[in-house]
Amino acid sequence: MKKKVLSSLICLSMCATMLFGCGNAASEQTTTQDQAPAAETTAAAETPAAEAAETTEATGEKVTLSIYTQYADDDTKVPYDYAVEQLAEAYPNVELNLIVQAQDDGQTLKTLAATGQLPDIYQASTDLINTFRSSNQIMVLNDVAESTGFLEKLYDANKDLAYAEDGNIYAFPFSGQEYVLWYYNKALFAEYNLEVPQTYDDLLNCINVFKENGIVPLALFGQEGWNTAAAFDVIATRYNAGGIKALDEGSASVTDQAYVDAANTMEQLVAAGLYQSDATTTNYDQASQMFLAGEAAMFINGQWYIEDATKALGENVDWMFYPAADAASYEAGKAAFSGGGSASGFAVNPDSPNAALAAEVAEFITEKYCEAKVMYRHNPLVALDTGKEPDSEYPAMMKKLSDTLPSITSTTKFTWGLTNSTFNDAIQSESQGLVSGQFSAAEFIENMADSMQ
């Protein structure tokens, strides 16, 4: 009996603490809501940034904006921290409540949207923009982009990234055009007297030599569908410069000879052992560490990897133009890259009590992200002309890319830039099937054609 008394006591006291805790949280919530109308009036005036800041300062009220964005590695932490620091000066009354983005295919954000809890500012991909557009949960930012000078700063090449299909701006992009680079370890190639492969025959030769010496030719992180899709795209673009973008838009069909050839080539390369045997269950860090540790000779990733690769391998790392079927198509293919920009960036919840202010802040943060990426991440491929210089020289690979940029005539898309979600799902899993070596090229073509019907 004694035990029961004790346990019920514990239970009671716990309930009390819980109630107390709940009460606190609830009152906090109401206070933020109380502030909301005031902030709205200040922000709704649509004054330029500085003025808006002054008015809020005059009223002396703090506004907390929730922001849903990535905050994990240097590439996401450095820009965010820089933006927050700058925000404190420009908008002293605005505080950000960071909600760290989960890597869950948008599950969290979609649930928050479905239940009306969307954060004030959130990082939206093409897929999310399209979904939220249909439910009016993403703010049209045309006017803000105009008044804040965002459009003037936007590089011409990136204009199409800002606008959605319907001609409106729904998100402020901070990344510019991005590219899939085929990285290779110069030291390993030199050690085994190998030339940088230009044709698939060269590549097959390299594969054999590396395999004989116990080195993985190319480390793929095939657990992530986008990497296998990119692995297919770097081959597909050699046959049809449009690559997976043309398929996504429907301007080409997967049954076209170009794609059949690409699938067959990929099948052949997989059979030869281009990728590690367990590529489809390898995650990014595993594959990356293999490449950086010299256990793998090549690696396929975006240009954002230049910084990390240079840090670890220094002079020994470079990127190559994608190999092609023959020398002629190799030369011709130098102008066609896989990858490209995507209409993703910071978007604003139109139902937020501080929507207008949030839109300005979102634009401000976007600018600061671009600045931080140029200055501290040595990545000039941002959406905006920041007028900033990096704090040290650009890495050699970035210089080489910058030199190549003017001659690039065609790009495709990363999977997160694709607009057809059925195609997106299909290409990610079917290309993974090809990489596994257990699905034939014929199966790939057939299944892709099936799913696109």
Partner 1 sequence: MPTKPSKSILHYIFVAFCWLYAAFSLYPLIWMLFYSFKNNQEIFVTNPFGFPWPLHYENYITAWTKYDVPLYFLNSLIVSIGTVVITIFCALLFSYATSRMIWKGRHFTRLFLGLGMFIPVQAIMIPVVKVVQGFHLTGTRWSLIFPYVAINLAFACMVYYGFFRGIPRELEEAACMDGATIYQTFFQIIEPLVRPATVTLVIYIFLNAWNEFILANVLVGSIPTLKTLPLGVLFFQGEFTTDWGGMGATMVIASFPAILVYSFFSEQVENAMTIGGAVKG
Partner 2 sequence: MKKYMGNKLAIFLFILPALAIFLIFDFIPILQVFAYSFTQWNGLTTPTFTGLENYFRLFQDRVFVTSNKNQLIFAILITVYQMLFATIFAITISDAKMKGRKFLRVAYFIPVILSVTVVCQLWSAILSGQGLLNKLFEAFGSDYTQNWLGDRYKAIYVIAFVNAWQWMGYQFALIVAGIKSISTDYYEAARIDGCTNAGAHRHITIPLLAETYKFCLVISLTGGIKAFTEMNILTGGGPNKSTYTLTYMMYNAAFKKSEYGYGLAAATVMVLECMIVMLVINFIFRDKDQRKEEERSRRKRHAD
Q: Single out the residue of 31, 41, 111, 422 in contact with partner 1 (rule: CB under 8 A).
A: 111
CB of 265 to partner 1, least distance (A): 27
Q: Single out the residue of 223, 253, 264, 404 in contact with partner 2 (rule: CB under 8 A).
A: 223
**Cα distance between residue 20 and residue 177, in whole Å:** 51
- How far is the first Cα of the chain from the last one, in angstroms, to the nearest whole number? 69
Is 289 a residue that touches partner 2 (CB under 8 A)? Answer: no
Is 101 a residue that touches partner 1 (CB under 8 A)? Answer: yes
Give every strand in the sheet of 171-172, ordered side by side: 94-100, 63-69, 121-124, 345-348, 171-172
Is 316 a residue that touches partner 1 (CB under 8 A)? Answer: no
Give the number of other Cβ atoms within 10 Å of residue 430's Cβ.
25
Is 328 a residue that touches partner 1 (CB under 8 A)? Answer: no
**Which of partner 1, partner 2, none lies near 436, with the C-beta cut-off 5 to 8 A by kind?**
partner 2
Instruction: Tell which residue, 79, 81, 131, 94, has the closest CA to residue 109.
Output: 131
Is 222 a residue that touches partner 2 (CB under 8 A)? Answer: yes
Residues 7 to 46 in contact with partner 2, rule: CB under 8 A: none
Give the range of 32-40, 82-90, 127-135, 323-331 binding partner 2 by CB under 8 A: 127-135
**Cα distance between residue 197 and residue 321, in whole Å:** 9
* HSE (side-chain half, CA atoms, 13 Å) at 316: 16
Is 73 a residue that touches partner 1 (CB under 8 A)? Answer: yes
CB of 68 to partner 1, least distance (A): 8
**Which of partner 1, partner 2, none lies near 421, with the C-beta cut-off 5 to 8 A by kind?**
partner 2
Give the range of 66-74, 143-151, 176-184, 194-202 binding partner 1 by CB under 8 A: 66-74
CB of 169 to partner 2, least distance (A): 20
Q: In which residue are the tokens 């990119």 written?
A: 230
Q: Which is nearer to partner 1, 31 or 438 (CB)?
A: 31
Q: In which residue are the tokens 């190549």 written?
A: 404
Burial classification of residue 48, based on how many CB atoms lie within 10 Å of its CB (0-12 exposed, 13-18 middle, 19 or more buried): exposed
Q: Which is nearer to partner 2, 147 or 223 (CB)?
A: 223
**Cα distance between residue 179 and residue 82, in whole Å:** 25
Give the range of 56-64, 216-224, 242-250, 265-273 binding partner 2 by CB under 8 A: 216-224
How many chain residues are in contact with partner 2, going by CB under 8 A?
39
- Please name every residue paired with 339 in a beta bridge, in sequence order, or none if there are none: 179
**Cα distance between residue 447 and residue 254, in whole Å:** 10
Is 286 a residue that touches partner 1 (CB under 8 A)? Answer: yes
Q: Which is nearer to partner 2, 236 or 426 (CB)?
A: 426
Q: Single out the residue of 435, 441, 445, 448 in contact with partner 2 (rule: CB under 8 A).
A: 435
Q: Is the dihedral of CA 238, 380, 48, 34 positive or negative?
A: positive
SS (H, E, C) 193-221: CCCCCCEHHHHHHHHHHHHHCCCEEEECC
Write the single-letter amino acid at 258: A
**Cα distance between residue 143 and residue 182, in whole Å:** 40
Give the range of 40-48, 134-142, 189-197, 240-248 binding partner 2 by CB under 8 A: 134-142
Is 224 a residue that touches partner 2 (CB under 8 A)? Answer: yes
Give the number of other Cβ atoms within 10 Å of residue 273's Cβ.
17
Q: Single out the residue of 93, 175, 276, 288 in contact with partner 1 (rule: CB under 8 A).
A: 288
Where are the alpha helices (H) located in 293-420, listed in sequence order?
306-313, 327-333, 355-375, 396-404
Give the number of other Cβ atoms within 10 Å of residue 341's Cβ.
23
**Cα distance between residue 378 and residue 307, in whole Å:** 7
List interacting residues with partner 1 (CB under 8 A). 4, 11, 14, 17-18, 21-22, 24-26, 28-29, 66, 68, 70-73, 75-76, 97, 99-104, 107-108, 111-112, 114-117, 119, 283-286, 288-290, 292-293, 295
List interacting residues with partner 2 (CB under 8 A). 104-107, 110, 113-114, 127, 131-132, 134-135, 137, 222-225, 276-282, 286, 421-422, 424-425, 429-430, 432-433, 435-436, 438-439, 447, 450
